[in-house]
Structure 1
Amino acid sequence: MTSFFNPKFSKDFPPILNNDDNYDTIIQVGENEDIKEFRAHSVILRSRSPYFEGALSSSWAKKENNMIIFNKPNIAPNIFDIILRYIYTGKMDLIEQLSDILKLLVASDELLLEELCDCLREYLNEERYNWIHKDFVLVFYTVRKLANCEFLQNYCFETIYFDPELIITSFSFLSLDRDMYYDLLEREDLLIKEIAAWDYLIIWGVEQTSGLRSLNCDRNKWNNEDYEALKETLNEFIPLIRFTNITFDDFNDKVRPYKNIIPNQIYKEIEEFYNKGTTPKIILPPRKIENFNSKIIKSRLIRRIIEWINIEDFWISSYNLNLVYRGSIDDISNKSFKNKCKGQVKSLVLIKVNYSNKIFGGYSSIGFNSIEDDSLLRIYNDNHRFYRSSNNFIFSLENDEDTQNMKISPVINYDKAIYDQPHNGFNFGYNAFFMTENHCIINNYSYNYENNIKTDTIYSIEEIETFIITE
């Protein structure tokens, strides 16, 4: 990370740090074999840190031969060296290791060095796209314990919610504690294939089970006691797997070999489901959003879209998205779109254009065609027919995995949310975003939607999909 300098701190103190004369404090940090003593001046420490102001006061400080002796075993010597130099100089040198940055953040928070904490939080925020792929679990474990790291905490929670596979497939995933992993698997809206959830549960369980790690998950070396040990480890987790969303082939290849760790009643229901099609009574139903089936965008993006559909209830609502129209199957034309996408229903349209990675889309809380609700109908000059909605929006994505650069334009003229144009498949806000045969256009010259998306390009449609949304 880049060096940090606090101009509030005097430039006259660096020589004092390296001078053994007149020091009155010995600070012993670290534990076991990693211990080091630092010599310092209590007047400087107390003036820089509210923590030391109290800890080194006459009522708290321990003295031997008129020397303050202070122990801080929970801070490593290399971390305290950085902190001490910062206290004397206002400077913090480059730190490369993420683990050291986090240790420094924890220590700075404990010692009430607010400016240093701010610097470290800002750095972690700026570099979040890098560290999240390096060691997400370590960062999350660290910041969730710190009261002043709310932004980073929210970012971690958001990552877990929108991209859980990033965590589950990471190296640090094996260090997830039981409570955190349980909460993750329990979610009905976890965006992960169920067989992947099973695979990683087994890997995690083996790592948590004493005696199995050394066998390197080689089941050929397992005995009955090993299976019983794994069963005990995963006893509360296995009921969280939605077995009915695992294919029969995957069940035979990856689940059946672990029959001995699955509760008898659950395993019986699995077999009856595959053999007789019996609806399970104990096994949890499929996750709410796992069956989202789009050829245009990845599943993680649908969360962003749903977040905009229902901002207030987003964290407690679940949605089903049912595909009703796909251009490559039903034909890309106004007629096909109107035949498949009609009625007053919450609808989402997605478009992948040719010769570009760009994706465009729109959500209408009232549908696109044949709305047939006169209370929503608005008629303007020359018999232009519009339908009212306060919840509609259009959006653009840079590609099918783009979660960071999504541009959204909510409707601002509610009375002109949907334009009833017979020569278009759909039309948001009088040509803000519309389909005409196998082309789509976004120009928003009418300004019925926020002007966040605007292009004069006429795009050729490569694929188009419409989903009906139900709660």
Structure 2
Amino acid sequence: MTSIFYSGLSKDFSLILNDADDFNAIIQVGEKANIKEFRVHSVILRARSPYFKSAFSTDWVTQKDGMILYNKPNITPRVFDIVLKYIYAAELDLNNYQGEDILKLLVASDELLLEELFDHVQDYLIEKQTTWVKENFFLVLQTAFKITRSKKLQGCCIKFICMNPQPFITSENFLRLDKDILYVLLNREDLQIDEIIIWESLIKWGINYLGYMNNDRTKWNNRNYEALKKTLEQFIPLIRFGEISLVEYFDKVQPYKAIIPDHIYEEIEEFFKYTTILPPRIGKIQFESKILKKKFVPIIINWINKRNTSAIPYDDDSSYKFDLIYQGSRDGINNNSFRDRCNLQEPILVLIKCKGTRKVFGGYAPLGFYRNEFKGNPLYKKSTHLSSTDSFIFSLVKKDDTLDIRLSNVVSCDHAVFNNYFDFHGSYGFNFGERNLCMENNRLYVLMTSYYECNLNYNSLYTTETIKEIEAFRVIKQ
């Protein structure tokens, strides 16, 4: 058996980087006032980086007195220091670096062909730098689409827009979008926004792209219309004209007849009957609720996957399907109706809107609320609860212009959900923990106990609310 001593090797190579006097290359990085020289060993850089293997070849290299001289102005000293620690010692600690440096590291690792480093940094940005990414979203978006390999980050950025597209599509940053990003965005099926807003924003984008046109189209000539038509020719077929009302069409689309391809315009005039006009955009995540808007579903998916509330959605989140199996206003708000439709279903998400408040409560039961497969099994040790490590309950409360979102994960996994199989008297519709979140006909009980984290939005150890609406969904990962 071969023994491996990587830790010692890493430590020794780290010493070579910091203390060795036998270097044979000087790399100058940065520009203007932020310049630094690094003394390195070409053999190590060539072995670890395909980029330096080519850059330090005899055909490209510049030498003076036997020393390789190389200039890399587009990488900052702070970022290159991280790169060298990775190359020499295979070490990487990003905890003390700002998001801007980490994004620059992503660009540098791509240029230097350091695939392992690139993949790690991309995942770190998505999973650990969520707040910074959202605060600097346009910079991240533009950077990600300049890097061919950053498909995961590109997908997360587009998905983030699709969650709530209107603020971005109506912003100044939208007008500065590159063509490639604009095409990807307009080609999405899950843009939850009025199509007329997309149309108006696209017109503004085209005018801004041309740079020289007056926003007042009454002052345009034929050359202006032709220029705008050519600029938007690849995007106009992506507009779902069938989602635009006739009033909006006559007011906001028809004035731009000159820029719309003839075959599309003819079909619009025929009341949107033919196939060139794309069908309505349909959000990839199926979710029909009277209680919760669709834009909050990615948050619930984050919780199901044990990610942070504010984590950027993954592209495969769209494979989730939420089947509405029970709705109180339709089926009756009582224990029997709930149990008739939800027993033997799994996993289940429940949502409850409370009467006379802005509160919404909810819970996720991976095993559902009813199990009877142990019936008649002599080895079964009786328990009235279903065990789960993934169950959670939550509350949403709208306060002025903010939304207070609170998650409480299960603590006592053996008491995650009461098993309705043992509720012989039909006392509950559902019961998380020991009345941590519990339906008793048209009443919702919320109790602070040790079975779940005590994070929900209520002011006392015990509260009860009247249920205005309640829904249950079977959660399907397709």
**Normalising to structure 2: TM-score of the pair?**
0.61
CA contact (8 A) 2:30 2:74 kept: yes
Give the AA of the match of 2:215. C
Whole-Å separation in 2 of the counterparts to 1:265 and 1:58 = 56
Whole-Å separation in 2 of the counterparts to 1:423 and 1:139 = 53
Alignment of 1:152-191 (within 5 A): 152=153, 155-156=156-157, 158-165=159-166, 167-191=168-192
Give the AA of the match of 1:296. I
CA contact (8 A) 2:61 2:69 kept: yes
Q: 1:441 aligns with which of 439, 445, 451?
A: 445
Question: What is the aligned partner in structure 1 of residue 353 from structure 2?
Answer: 352
Whole-Å separation in 1 of the counterparts to 2:130 and 2:259 = 39
Q: Quote the offset at 1:299 in angstroms.
A: 2.0
Q: 1:298 aligns with which of 293, 297, 300?
A: 293
Q: Quote the offset at 1:138 in angstroms.
A: 3.1
Q: Quote the offset at 1:268 in angstroms.
A: 4.5
Give the AA of the match of 2:80. I
Distance of aligned partners of 1:405 and 1:68 in 2 relative to their CA distance in 1, 3 Å threshold: farther
Question: What is the aligned partner in structure 1 of residue 282 from structure 2?
Answer: 288
Q: Which runs of 5+ in 2 are unaligned?
A: 1-9, 306-313, 377-383
Matched, 1:457 2:457: no
Distance of aligned partners of 1:85 and 1:259 in 2 relative to their CA distance in 1, 3 Å threshold: closer
Give the AA of the match of 1:162. M
Question: What is the aligned partner in structure 2 of residue 107 from structure 1?
Answer: 108
Question: What is the aligned partner in structure 1 of residue 198 from structure 2?
Answer: 197
Distance of aligned partners of 1:457 and 1:217 in 2 relative to their CA distance in 1, 3 Å threshold: farther
CA contact (8 A) 1:205 1:230 kept: yes
Partner secondary structure for residue 352 of structure 1: strand
Q: Quote the offset at 1:228 in angstroms.
A: 2.5
Whole-Å separation in 1 of the counterparts to 2:318 and 2:444 = 33
Deviations along 1:55-105, one digit per CA (max 9) or x if unpaired, are 5767566345525454556x427x14752698599999997783x653343
Whole-Å separation in 1 of the counterparts to 2:315 and 2:160 = 19
Q: 1:221 aligns with which of 216, 219, 225?
A: 219
Whole-Å separation in 1 of the counterparts to 2:445 and 2:171 = 41
Give the AA of the match of 2:228. L
Partner secondary structure for residue 286 of structure 1: coil
Whole-Å separation in 2 of the counterparts to 1:116 and 1:314 = 23
RMSD between aligned alpha carbons?
A: 6.1
CA contact (8 A) 1:349 1:464 kept: no
Q: Quote the offset at 1:408 in angstroms.
A: 7.4
Whole-Å separation in 2 of the counterparts to 1:240 and 1:322 = 34
Question: What is the aligned partner in structure 2 of residue 126 from structure 1?
Answer: 128
Distance of aligned partners of 1:57 and 1:420 in 2 relative to their CA distance in 1, 3 Å threshold: same
Deviations along 1:20-66, one digit per CA (max 9) or x if unpaired, are xx9965656689xx7998655444x6557834874576756634552
CA contact (8 A) 2:396 2:404 kept: no
Partner secondary structure for residue 214 of structure 1: coil
Whole-Å separation in 1 of the counterparts to 2:300 and 2:99 = 36
Whole-Å separation in 2 of the counterparts to 1:116 and 1:302 = 30
Question: What is the aligned partner in structure 2 of residue 334 from structure 1?
Answer: 334
Partner secondary structure for residue 141 of structure 1: helix
Q: How many pairs align?
A: 425
Whole-Å separation in 2 of the counterparts to 1:70 and 1:424 = 80
Distance of aligned partners of 1:306 and 1:199 in 2 relative to their CA distance in 1, 3 Å threshold: farther
Partner secondary structure for residue 215 of structure 1: coil
Q: 1:396 aligns with which of 394, 397, 402?
A: 394
Whole-Å separation in 2 of the counterparts to 1:169 and 1:107 = 32
CA contact (8 A) 2:335 2:429 kept: no
CA contact (8 A) 1:442 1:454 kept: no
CA contact (8 A) 2:445 2:465 kept: no
Whole-Å separation in 2 of the counterparts to 1:444 and 1:261 = 62
Q: Quote the offset at 1:129 in angstroms.
A: 1.5
Alignment of 1:2-151 (within 5 A): 9-10=14-15, 13=18, 25=25, 27=27, 41-43=39-41, 47=44, 50-51=48-49, 54=53, 59=58, 62-68=61-67, 70-72=69-71, 75-76=73-74, 79-80=76-77, 83=80, 87=84, 98=100, 101-111=102-112, 112=114, 122=124, 125-136=127-138, 138-139=140-141, 141-142=143-144, 145=147
Distance of aligned partners of 1:240 and 1:12 in 2 relative to their CA distance in 1, 3 Å threshold: closer
Whole-Å separation in 1 of the counterparts to 2:248 and 2:82 = 57
Distance of aligned partners of 1:334 and 1:172 in 2 relative to their CA distance in 1, 3 Å threshold: same
Q: Quote the offset at 1:415 in angstroms.
A: 11
Whole-Å separation in 1 of the counterparts to 2:94 and 2:156 = 26
Distance of aligned partners of 1:202 and 1:121 in 2 relative to their CA distance in 1, 3 Å threshold: same
Whole-Å separation in 2 of the counterparts to 1:378 and 1:55 = 66
CA contact (8 A) 1:215 1:221 kept: no
CA contact (8 A) 2:237 2:277 kept: yes
Distance of aligned partners of 1:304 and 1:379 in 2 relative to their CA distance in 1, 3 Å threshold: farther
Alignment of 1:273-284 (within 5 A): 273=271, 281-284=275-278
Distance of aligned partners of 1:42 and 1:414 in 2 relative to their CA distance in 1, 3 Å threshold: closer
Matched, 1:261 2:255: no
Partner secondary structure for residue 136 of structure 2: helix
Whole-Å separation in 2 of the counterparts to 1:153 and 1:427 = 40
Percent identical pairs in the alignment equals 27
Whole-Å separation in 1 of the counterparts to 2:225 and 2:139 = 28
Q: Quote the offset at 1:457 in angstroms.
A: 3.5
Give the AA of the match of 1:128. T
Question: What is the aligned partner in structure 1 of residue 310 from structure 2?
Answer: none
Question: What is the aligned partner in structure 1 of residue 229 from structure 2?
Answer: 231
CA contact (8 A) 1:243 1:270 kept: yes
Distance of aligned partners of 1:42 and 1:342 in 2 relative to their CA distance in 1, 3 Å threshold: closer
Q: Quote the offset at 1:397 in angstroms.
A: 4.0
Question: What is the aligned partner in structure 1 of residue 381 from structure 2?
Answer: none
Give the AA of the match of 1:302. V
Distance of aligned partners of 1:92 and 1:263 in 2 relative to their CA distance in 1, 3 Å threshold: closer
Deviations along 1:347-366, one digit per CA (max 9) or x if unpaired, are 97532336564432568999
